[in-house]
Amino acid sequence: MPSEAKIAGATLVSTNPATGEVLAELACASADDVRTAVQRAKSAQPQWQATPVRARIAVLRRFQELLNERRMDVARLICREAGKPAAEALATEVLVVLDAAQFCIHNAHRFLRDKPLPHANLAMKTKRGKLVREPYGVIGIVAPWNYPFSIPAIETLGALVAGNAVVLKPSECTPLVALELERLLLAAGVNPHLMQVVVGEGPVGAALVESPVDKLIFTGSVATGKRVGEAAARRLLPVVLELGGKDPMIVLDDADLEVATSGALWAAFMNAGQTCLSLERCYVHRSLYEPFLSKCREKIAKLRVGNGIDSEVEIGPMIHERQLKIVEEQVNDAVQRGARLLAGGKRLTELGPNFYAPTLLADVTNDMRLMQEETFGPVLPVAPFDSDEEVIRVANDSEFGLAASVWTGSRRRGEAMAARIKAGTVMLNDMISCFGIAEAPHGGFKQSGIGRTHGEIGLQEMVQTKYVDVDLIPGIRKVWWFGYGRKYQQQMNGFIDVLFARSWAKKLKGALRSAGLFRRSTRI
């Protein structure tokens, strides 16, 4: 049995990547099913939008309570379907979602309420304006397999609290986790038409893109993301695209070697390296280079690989054979081109078909595939550098710009370097945990995507901003309306001097020239 979900006729088969065990067989949605789901969502959404924000928040609070009660069941399901250790599922998925729900509960009402907008222009002082945030309607979400719970849950919670409906298409590898998210939300009081999961492979995602959703959030590869963006552009469908990264770790000469090596291993190998924010390029100052490699090699030997349902295991399987082959090819290419293999670099077939040993490579160069293409596997490639200028240049030498990290004993030096790195997030002395900070936006530069999720900026992606303006003296014709002429032109010139001339003399002359502007009898 292949260790990935596959279509068999109109059936999706979900399997455990660690064991090959069949977890479930699910009926695939058709294009008509997707359109029907979106139409149901459109019918239910207006009533949800009319529901007071505090009532929506109460639903999220109940979801949070249910998830907290069932957290081990959810973590074990993530482990069985995605392969990551259950403890890691708790820390990087369940905990993150609980915190994201807390953020919405505490901040949604303030964010969504109308915001007065003052007018600085003197001519507009008789008006009162405000910004009104309104939901898009139906948000389509196409979610990945590597974080099958936290990514769609965070996006769904933000969409729902803002007054939208959601149609979620999960990865074909992890449909059961998405269905569990749906069950929790429905149990919390969400109308079944407001949150729907459509199961299937690529054609189901394509049908969702072509359906009458009002916005689409996609997480996945650059190649697929570009196709999604092209399809969306044909009808000006707004999108958020999170397309992965090639995140660099920069270890400066004043870094704590013990901390940096432990951080490097976790950032490179957690979730078997299958994380968009994972460490994929490691640059170490030459003065620390060999000690860094030695400590990493020593610590890698202590890591426990196996079925993540075992609480002692730290690294589980890769999701499927296709991803394992990509990793294998990149590692072999690097070794053939001169990289030193210090640990791993092989399949662990004695554990199962999808296990790959945590791998440490030294002396890699930026022109290797391993340093340019997204690896998405348990590989730590390390290269030396001699100067800050050099490492900034090579760190920015990538088509991606999702995140980066700088490891240093000097906060000032680290922040100065962070300012020069082209990435959506730069962390000092840590990696990946930015995803778990509910207030922090998630997204990147360059080929890493468009838009943001998480935090207030992520909530902004879930609403359309409308400006509403009220005139306080509606019975008066406005100064700028028709009835032009030479005198009006002179008066307007004078009024502009009143507002913007640098000298008081010009302002005074302008005031004299603009006299009578607001009493102009020639207005039509």
Catalytic residue positions, numbered: 242, 276
For residue 315, give the DSSP letter.
B
Q: Which two tokens stand for residue 222?
A: 């650059």
Q: Which two tokens stand for residue 375?
A: 């690896």
Length of the chain: 524
Sheet of strand 138-142, all strands in order from the earlier edge strand to the far edge: 195-197, 165-169, 138-142, 215-219, 239-242, 449-450
Closest CA to 306 of 298, 316, 297: 316
The CA distance from 310 to 320, in Å, is: 20
Q: Which two tokens stand for residue 383?
A: 């290269």
C-alpha span between 409 and 397 (Å, rounded): 25
CA angle 187, 216, 161 (to 5 degrees): 40
- Do the beta carbons of residue 231 and residue 209 sit within 8 Å? yes
| 68 CB-side CA count, 13 A | 11
Q: How far is CA 276 from the centre of its chain?
A: 9
DSSP conformation letters of 248-269: EEEE-TTS-HHHHHHHHHHHHH
Asked whether 379 and 331 are in contact (CB, 8 A), the reply is: yes
Q: Report H helices in 211-318.
A: 222-233, 257-269, 286-300
Q: C-alpha distances in angstroms, 460 versus 303, 360, 437?
A: 41, 41, 17
d(CA 305, CA 152): 27
Element (H, E) at 304: none
CA dihedral (188, 76, 304, 88) in degrees, to 10, reads 0
Greatest extent of the chain over all pairs of C-alpha atoms, in Å: 93
**DSSP H helical ranges for 136-174:** 150-161
Q: Are 446 and 421 in contact (CB under 8 A)?
A: no
The answer to whether the beta carbons of residues 273 and 375 sit under 8 Å apart is: yes
